[in-house]
Amino acid sequence: MRYTLELEMLERQCNRHDAQSMDLLHREFALALNASRFVAVAVGDIEVRVRSRSTPQEGVTCYRVELYLEERERAIGDEQALALLRRSFQSAINASYFLRVCVDDLTVELISRVPADAPAPLRAAA
């Protein structure tokens, strides 16, 4: 499955360039994944792609992230998938992962959840 997520947070260092910030977020994901913080969501490895970073309002940063994974629970709906993701992120944050990126908690929204081989959604015009 391909999950497209929007992560909203207060960044610890908002003066980094987009590429640096996106790379740091990717590394934090790798650490959390290696520590099995997302085991409730997926069977096996999760491929993470940090697609974009924006600042829709002062002090708030929004990341668009795609996760490619084999779901542990095959017959769950989007709301259940989002609940599992949120618990996994909270577990990771409680274990001090993502703290190099964000000051406190982060908000997780599930934008889409489709089979991994489905065409990528078209981007809305800015």
| 3 state SS of 83 | helix
The model carries a pTM of: 0.88
| 3 state SS of 98 | coil
Domains in the chain, ordered, with CATH? 2-113 (3.30.70)
Quick check: 26 and 84 in contact, CB under 8 A?
no
Q: What is the pLDDT along the chain (126 residues), one digit of tens a residue?
A: 999 999 999 998 878 889 999 999 999 999 999 999 999 999 999 999 999 999 888 879 999 999 999 999 888 999 999 999 999 999 999 999 999 999 888 999 999 999 888 876 555 443
